[in-house]
Chain A
Amino acid sequence: MNEPFEARLQMAGHWLQLGHPERTLVELQGLTGEAALDYRAYLFRGAALHALERNSEAIDVLRAGLSQHGPVLAMFHVLGSALRSDGRLPEAEAALLQGLSIDPNEPDLLIGYAHVCLAAGQAQKASALVERAASYAPESAAVSAARAQVAFALGKDRDMHRHSTEALSHDPEDPGARALHGTASILTGDARSGYTSLASAAASQPGDADLRAAAREAKLINHPLMLPLRPFARFNPLVVWIGAVAVIYGLRAVGLGPLSFVFAMVWLAFCVYSWVVPPLVRRWINRKWGS
């Protein structure tokens, strides 16, 4: 292959790594002849389309690449991921298992399969797959991030926080790790660092609407007007409700009727506050951010 084409392919891969999949596609458009059929051209195009959430196109490209070049493990990995994002979980599983039949210990494929299991609600199996990947790539950010996702699926929020902090220590710039860390911080009651992580993740991935929305929600939780509502975010709102009802009727039962009435009125005011203020603050933040 001649030099300009090789440079173009490398540039395409480079843009992909930097999180600019649209530029990857532009670079790949310039390839012709033999270079356009290089396995990396299929792989990068598939990965770029997947990153842009054009998953059905990504799946077609990667399947064409696999039939052209035979089994390439990295292609199975991206194909599995694109199929998973498209909701085609059994096909994603089949693609990843096909890759794993060639190398059963390939950490990326094991983690990719774990993600498919998580999407299907099979968190225990996902956990076992991630641990197998960890035994082959113990110091990887991907393993820590996957462990954090498994902990989230299992409802173990503190473990999620620990693993996402670990993932951040491997790569403090990684937007995925920051997003996980932000979510874990909010779940464990640290709304401030949750916002910091989510906002920086959203800033480095400007195209990701979900991250933007999550950062905006975190900003909402941190607003001073939302401070009185922290108990709702921290505990289950139902538990707070039951507590309030217990206090109201408890006071009445021990003969403190007026006090019970005062508490009930305060509680009512608090409820009205909890219904009225969040939408107002949300509207205000949205206007400031420009939705």
Chain B
Amino acid sequence: MPDELLRPTIGTPVDLSVRPWRLMSQTYVAFFGGVIASTVIAFLNARRLGVDAVKRRLILLTGLFGLVAVGAVFVLLDGDDDMTSGIRVGTRVVAVLCCLVQLRLQRPMDRAFQLRGTDYGSLWGAGIAAAVGGAIAELFVLLLAARVV
């Protein structure tokens, strides 16, 4: 009887020179940069960790849902001057919730990475770039959506 457990299942070697980012550092990017920044960083990191394609697509999908939710917050609270801070907080909460889901999707491969015992990379440069770029892109998307609506 062939032994299922002893069948090869590992297809690709891991590139030890690739340095993923700490999951917790990504939360700062989500908080300051919003949904788009969080999704870009989570997607890039998932590739570095070797997360499979299905989960990487789920990360993108989460980002898309998040962006729709941010749009909804924007539409619901827009037009009222007192609510601009409400929009700021609301979009941040959505980004953070989105980020939690994206972290959950990366976690198994992050644990595998930790067991391999190599070092993380620094998120400072990419994180700040994503936070600034993401925030600008999000604003642009929302303004465009507001014009269309």
- A residues with CB within 8 A of B: 85-94, 97, 100-101, 104, 113, 115-123, 125, 128-129, 132, 149, 152-155, 210, 236-238, 241-242, 245, 249
Whether B117 pairs with A129 at a CB distance below 8 angstroms is: no
Given contacts A104-B3, A153-B115, contact A121 B109 (CB under 8 A): yes
Whether A129 pairs with B115 at a CB distance below 8 angstroms is: no
Whether B117 pairs with A210 at a CB distance below 8 angstroms is: yes
Please give 20 more A-B residue pairs, beta carbons under 8 A apart, in addition to A87-B16, A123-B112, A153-B111: A87-B15, A87-B116, A88-B13, A89-B13, A89-B14, A93-B8, A94-B8, A104-B3, A120-B9, A120-B14, A121-B108, A121-B109, A122-B10, A152-B111, A152-B114, A153-B115, A238-B27, A238-B99, A241-B96, A249-B89
Point out the residue from A117, A119, A237 that lies within 8 Å of B116, measured CB to CB: A119
The B interface, classified by DSSP as helix, strand, loop or mixed, is helix
Given contacts A89-B12, A93-B10, A210-B117, contact A120 B112 (CB under 8 A): yes
Given contacts A90-B11, A152-B111, contact A104 B93 (CB under 8 A): no
Whether B89 pairs with A153 at a CB distance below 8 angstroms is: no
A-B CB contact pairs (8 Å), 17 listed:
A85-B117, A87-B116, A91-B13, A100-B6, A129-B5, A152-B111, A153-B111, A154-B108, A154-B111, A210-B117, A237-B27, A238-B96, A238-B99, A241-B27, A241-B31, A241-B96, A242-B96
Q: Which residues does chain B contribute within 8 Å of A132, judged by CB atoms? A: 5
Minimal Cβ-Cβ distance residue in B for A209: B119
Given contacts A241-B31, A245-B89, contact A117 B111 (CB under 8 A): no
Given contacts A97-B8, A125-B5, contact A236 B14 (CB under 8 A): no
Whether A149 pairs with B115 at a CB distance below 8 angstroms is: yes
Whether A245 pairs with B92 at a CB distance below 8 angstroms is: yes
The complex places the Cα of A92 from the Cα of B115 at a distance, in Å, of 16
Interface residues of B in 78-126 (CB under 8 A from A): 89, 92-93, 96-97, 99-100, 107-109, 111-112, 114-117
Minimal Cβ-Cβ distance residue in A for B119: A210
- B residues with CB within 8 A of A: 3, 5-6, 8-16, 24, 27, 30-31, 50, 89, 92-93, 96-97, 99-100, 107-109, 111-112, 114-117
Q: Which residues does chain A contribute within 8 Å of B3, judged by CB atoms? A: 104
Q: Which residues does chain A contribute within 8 Å of B16, judged by CB atoms? A: 86-87
The complex places the Cα of A163 from the Cα of B108 at a distance, in Å, of 19
Whether A125 pairs with B13 at a CB distance below 8 angstroms is: no
Distance in angstroms from A77 CB to nearest chain B CB is 15
Whether A242 pairs with B10 at a CB distance below 8 angstroms is: no
Whether B15 pairs with A90 at a CB distance below 8 angstroms is: no
The complex places the Cα of A27 from the Cα of B89 at a distance, in Å, of 66
The complex places the Cα of A113 from the Cα of B5 at a distance, in Å, of 10
Given contacts A87-B14, A87-B16, A210-B117, contact A242 B93 (CB under 8 A): yes
Q: Which residues does chain A contribute within 8 Å of B99, judged by CB atoms? A: 238
Distance in angstroms from A32 CB to nearest chain B CB is 36
Whether B6 pairs with A104 at a CB distance below 8 angstroms is: yes
Whether A90 pairs with B115 at a CB distance below 8 angstroms is: no
Whether A152 pairs with B13 at a CB distance below 8 angstroms is: no
Minimal Cβ-Cβ distance residue in A for B50: A121
Q: Which residues does chain B contribute within 8 Å of A128, judged by CB atoms? A: 5
Q: Which residues does chain B contribute within 8 Å of A94, judged by CB atoms? A: 8
Distance in angstroms from B34 CB to nearest chain A CB is 14
Distance in angstroms from A146 CB to nearest chain B CB is 11
The complex places the Cα of A116 from the Cα of B108 at a distance, in Å, of 15
Given contacts A104-B3, A238-B27, A242-B96, contact A153 B10 (CB under 8 A): no
Whether B12 pairs with A90 at a CB distance below 8 angstroms is: yes
B24, B108, B114, most chain A CB atoms within 10 A: B108
